[in-house]
Structure 1
Amino acid sequence: MRKGLLALLAAAALAATASVSDAKTLRVSAPAPINDIDPHGSNSVVRDTIMAGRQVYDSLIEFKDGEPQGRLATQWQQVDAKTWRFTLRDGVTFHDGTTLDSADVKASLERLAKAKGGLARLWTQLDTVETPDAKTVVVKLKESVGPFLRNVALLQIAPSEAIAATKGEYGASVRLPGSGAFVIESFEPGQSLTLKANPTYWGGAPKIDGIRFQTIPELTGRVTALLNDEIDVTWGVPDDQIPALQSNSDVTVNIVPSVVYYYNWFNGSRGPFKDARVRRALWHAVDVKQVVADLLPLTGSLGKAPIAETVFGYAPQQPYSYDPELAKKLLAEAGYPQGFTAELKYSQNFGASVDQMALAFVSYWDKIGVKVTPMQQEHAVWTAALRDLNWDMVLATNPSYTEDADYTIGRLYLSENNENGYANPELDKILLEARRESDQSKRKELYAKAIQIIWNDAVGIFPSEAKAVYVYRSTVSGIQLAPTMAPRFRDVEIK
């Protein structure tokens, strides 16, 4: 019989544990506020919603070093091209006292798939979810989905009864229980989130009493709070702040590869940028290696693909040479011997590095006769322009949260999505084949072909990968330094 434990008993257990603890709470300030903790809503794709959810909820599997690891599922099997079977873990209890069974997975997946926006885009091929018994879940798809397990890793599970009680509501006002290491105690959207330890966590009780996330809008404020022992951990620290922090014995600085990369897209549906020779010319005109070395000496590395090295499907390419004379030759061949004028748009939310990179690119382009006006915009304005293809060029950063090429390459360069005005039937065929291919080695081969096309056609300039910079008090250990910059804290200890 399911749902054997009562919520009252779970609450009593939490209170008893708190009374004998050492009262050690991890104090966290992320680079952006947590505005929503609904694991299935329109903000489920937002990094800080994912990060908050990872403390409260469990997924069926997680990926470690590129391989799936069981969490709420102990076994999984691809029955055929369009069918997957999962066996659930025994002894998992939600924070409301109910016990995990297959109905919870079904309800969670169906709720996510029905959402507008967010991670729902990963589940457009979902057909049905069957529950032949309490410990078995069978997911049937309309067609094979190559990155299926990567998508499953982002599905956070909540109790079916609690999901039913939402009556179709999504968003920041929703509070769903999880089965994770920490329980929601209070949440003020955009301000703070307080979690307390779950003493009955199936993976073992946390070694800390809880976590408090607080919003500190300015970088200088976060760094000051860290040095003054007002917070324990932050991340997203830029290059110019790192040396001083590295020399401070009170804090630890960890710089790790991330899933984030920089890109400068050309609008392939507009004017000069329809011609690949023009796009290649603008790439050859910029000394990208020098720009990265100057602006991102610690947090960047020269880009060699339109995704980061940490992402499944990565295939390194030969960087474009810095060759202004070749750039001028290509412009002349394309019919622009005197150059042309254009605009480069970017958002203020992408920070100083993007602003400085934009100005550097503009300076290089000026030397070959291409006069580019840099336009920094408010993020909402920039996003609207990006969506409407109302731009010549855009400069930004982008993450691959599933750590799979389908999330970025498969979505951003498929011509039916028209994300950047570029269309290539050969590329479309490869990307759709990669999306449907279950054999992961074949998927890698297909993405290598796709990346080569994107690179050689210069759909954009891909100057750099970004590194994740985590800074925390030296008394803290056990943080899972995620390349997605959405860390997990379930194994944290505080001395």
Structure 2
Amino acid sequence: MNIVFPTLRNGLFGAILALSPMLAAQAKTPADQLIVGMSMVNLFSIDPANAPGLDASGINANLYDTLVKRDNGNPERHVPQLAESWTVSEDGKQITFKLRSDVKFHSGNPLTAEDVAWSLYRVMKLNFGLATTWKAYGYNLDNIQASIRATDAHTLVIDLPQPTDPLLVIDSLAISPSAVVVDRKQALQHEKNGDLGAAWLVTNEAGSGPFTLSKWSANDSLVMTRFDGYWAGPAKMKRVLVRHMTESQSLRLMLERGDLDLAYGMAAPDIKAIERSDALQVQALQRGTMYYVAMSMKQPEFAKQQVREAVRNLIDYQGIDQQVMPHYGTLNQQPMQLGLAARLPDPGYTMDVAKAKALLAEAGYPNGFNTTIRILSEPPFIDIAARMQATLAEGGIKATIVTGTGNQVYGAMRARNFEMIVARGAERYPHPYFSLRTFVYNPDNSDAAGLPNFQGWRASFFNQQLNELIDRAGVERDADQRLKLYHQAQTLYDKQVGPIMMISQMTDTAVSAADVKGFTGDDAEATRYLGVYKQR
């Protein structure tokens, strides 16, 4: 297998040595501390305006709060958080939130509606990828301060600048990583050259959540400490310590020795080996996030539909699902989450080498061509890529695998500077509109548009008819007509052989010690440790 390694992977011995001597010597972790092992390779920023990854979302869910939260993961029902109540005007053009009056930030500053409005303005002003969520609703730097405003300390008014289902906006306020509320005064105290505190917030926080950030060393460890003044009552654990561990065997060993309480990202063989252990418990967390293969249509080969279709015929979907993805994901070939009423059945793609070769010859590549596949240097990405490398070769496409950190891999894709990539990404939240906007929508295909939150833009895929179908679905109030629009969009994307090809829907398996109670993974990878405790 031809693989380029820009960075070395941590070995088992190195991961064990990375644990502090105190933890390594104990048979059990401290009763009031939660010790978590997981890969932090894709955790490069926790700034809410620029932290789209799953790892950052999981951390920020404990450091910050949102106005509302989904009720048991349902995108059409929400429960109060910072907002005690909200109303939608009869014409559907305005949402008014009434905020709690007893919330304080970790700094001691009171949380006000002005902080909420400023937090969303900040996202638009900095204009990182997460601003795309709000641009989709018609917000821009010129109108956001007038459209999202505090009318008093505890009242927030949101005007919708274009026809939009207000429920979509409420849902975005519940689940978007950019919707958390930032302490305006604290952030501006650390402002440099008009950056609204951006440089400081990469590695610091200004939230009101149940934990404060005590320490973060990139690719090493992160410590969160209980915030005793939390408005919903203090967390049960005094501290949460997250250790960077990429090797599944290391995670398993630390769990079995009692040096870890909770682990994410374990490989299937290690999970199977401990499933019957009385000392450990396994929890499968169904996510909305997708594993996918993407091709850049900036590359002349992948700009041709025949080549993209050839690649689609050189992916061993069933083999990957059965041999690589157990405990990682479930087969899904649509750009929409499983279980949604708007989702069409899988198209039934299968591997067909003869058809792929014929398509490549038709496209002018009878002998194939060379390319690269970027991946994170951890399972299941490296296993998917290795399998793809072999099956692509059967059709004549010779792929070199390039591994790297999250910044190296996803950064290249966000910059539209890649050939192929095996990745995992949004849309994390189960909603047909958000799924299609994230994976196949692209309002402006120019480099200058800078729309990295749209996977379609990253892959340089643009189809105006598809955009219009999705736009119409976003404002359509009739449920039957909306369903038809979603079906038409999926069918059109299939015919266009879009460059982002879904492989699997993520299953996040968490393994914990049997005495860890109150842990439930959130549908948006925003697991909160507020109610977690140890029964000893």
Q: Which bracket does the TM-score occupy, shorter chain normalised?
A: 0.7 to 0.9
The 5 A counterparts of 1:100-179 are 100-124=111-135, 125-126=138-139, 127=144, 128=146, 129-146=148-165, 147-153=168-174, 154=176, 155-167=179-191, 168-172=196-200, 175-179=204-208
Bigger shift: residues 244-253 or 310-319: 310-319
Structure 1 unaligned residues grouped into runs of 5+: 1-21
Q: Find out whether 1:294 has 2:323 as its counterpart.
A: yes
TM superposition shift of 1:272: 4.7
CA distance 1:342–1:405, shift in 2 (3 Å): farther
Provide the C-alpha distance between the structure 2 equivalents of 1:282 and 1:94, rounded to a whole number of angstroms: 50
> Which letter does structure 1 place at the counterpart of 2:508?
A
Bigger shift: residues 406-415 or 64-73: 406-415
The aligned residue for residue 456 of structure 1 is 495
The 5 A counterparts of 1:87-106 are 87-106=98-117
Q: Find out whether 1:393 has 2:393 as its counterpart.
A: no
Q: Find out whether 1:241 has 2:281 as its counterpart.
A: no
Q: Find out whether 1:183 has 2:212 as its counterpart.
A: yes
| Contact 1:29–1:213 under 8 Å retained in 2 | yes
The aligned residue for residue 480 of structure 1 is 520
Deviations 1:10-53 (A, max 9, x none): xxxxxxxxxxxx961112233216966754342x3233322222
Deviations 1:320-378 (A, max 9, x none): 1444444455556x35584522424122x1524333323333433444x4332233243
Provide the C-alpha distance between the structure 2 equivalents of 1:301 and 1:211, rounded to a whole number of angstroms: 30
Provide the C-alpha distance between the structure 2 equivalents of 1:241 and 1:329, rounded to a whole number of angstroms: 41
Provide the C-alpha distance between the structure 2 equivalents of 1:228 and 1:254, rounded to a whole number of angstroms: 19
| Contact 1:358–1:374 under 8 Å retained in 2 | no
Equivalent pairs, count:
470
TM superposition shift of 1:280: 2.8
| Contact 1:437–1:443 under 8 Å retained in 2 | yes
TM superposition shift of 1:200: 4.1
The aligned residue for residue 86 of structure 1 is 97
- 2:391 maps to which of 364, 372, 383: 364
Q: Secondary structure at the match of 1:27?
A: strand
TM superposition shift of 1:258: 1.5
- 2:381 maps to which of 348, 354, 379: 354
Bigger shift: residues 182-191 or 206-215: 182-191
TM superposition shift of 1:279: 2.8
Deviations 1:130-168 (A, max 9, x none): 222332100224324553223212311234432443332
Provide the C-alpha distance between the structure 1 equivalents of 2:402 and 2:502, rounded to a whole number of angstroms: 19
| Contact 1:31–1:236 under 8 Å retained in 2 | yes
Bigger shift: residues 247-256 or 120-129: 120-129
> Which letter does structure 2 place at the counterpart of 1:252?
Q
The aligned residue for residue 261 of structure 2 is 232
Q: Secondary structure at the match of 2:380?
A: helix
- 2:282 maps to which of 217, 235, 253: 253
CA distance 1:431–1:227, shift in 2 (3 Å): same
Provide the C-alpha distance between the structure 1 equivalents of 2:242 and 2:232, rounded to a whole number of angstroms: 22
Q: Secondary structure at the match of 1:29?
A: strand
The alignment's TM-score, normalised by the length of structure 2, stands at 0.77
| Contact 2:337–2:435 under 8 Å retained in 1 | no
Provide the C-alpha distance between the structure 1 equivalents of 2:480 and 2:243, rounded to a whole number of angstroms: 43
Deviations 1:53-78 (A, max 9, x none): 21122110112322322211122233
Provide the C-alpha distance between the structure 2 equivalents of 1:102 and 1:133, rounded to a whole number of angstroms: 7
> Which letter does structure 2 place at the counterpart of 1:374?
T
CA distance 1:99–1:313, shift in 2 (3 Å): farther
| Contact 2:337–2:431 under 8 Å retained in 1 | no
The aligned residue for residue 489 of structure 1 is 529
CA distance 1:401–1:118, shift in 2 (3 Å): farther
The aligned residue for residue 84 of structure 2 is 74
CA distance 1:108–1:145, shift in 2 (3 Å): same
Provide the C-alpha distance between the structure 2 equivalents of 1:356 and 1:186, rounded to a whole number of angstroms: 33
TM superposition shift of 1:395: 2.5
TM superposition shift of 1:401: 3.8
RMSD between aligned alpha carbons? 3.2
Q: Secondary structure at the match of 2:489?
A: helix
Provide the C-alpha distance between the structure 1 equivalents of 2:288 and 2:129, rounded to a whole number of angstroms: 18
Q: Secondary structure at the match of 1:162?
A: helix
Provide the C-alpha distance between the structure 1 equivalents of 2:117 and 2:367, rounded to a whole number of angstroms: 57
The aligned residue for residue 62 of structure 2 is 55
TM superposition shift of 1:243: 0.9
Deviations 1:188-234 (A, max 9, x none): 45543333333443323322323222333544333322222222112
| Contact 2:66–2:173 under 8 Å retained in 1 | yes
| Contact 2:226–2:235 under 8 Å retained in 1 | yes
The aligned residue for residue 8 of structure 2 is none
Provide the C-alpha distance between the structure 1 equivalents of 2:402 and 2:314, rounded to a whole number of angstroms: 22
Bigger shift: residues 195-204 or 54-63: 195-204
Bigger shift: residues 50-59 or 277-286: 277-286
Structure 2 unaligned residues grouped into runs of 5+: 1-29, 446-456
- 2:34 maps to which of 22, 26, 50: 26
The aligned residue for residue 420 of structure 1 is 459
Bigger shift: residues 403-412 or 114-123: 403-412
CA distance 1:273–1:104, shift in 2 (3 Å): closer
Identity of aligned residues (%): 20
Provide the C-alpha distance between the structure 2 equivalents of 1:28 and 1:198, rounded to a whole number of angstroms: 19
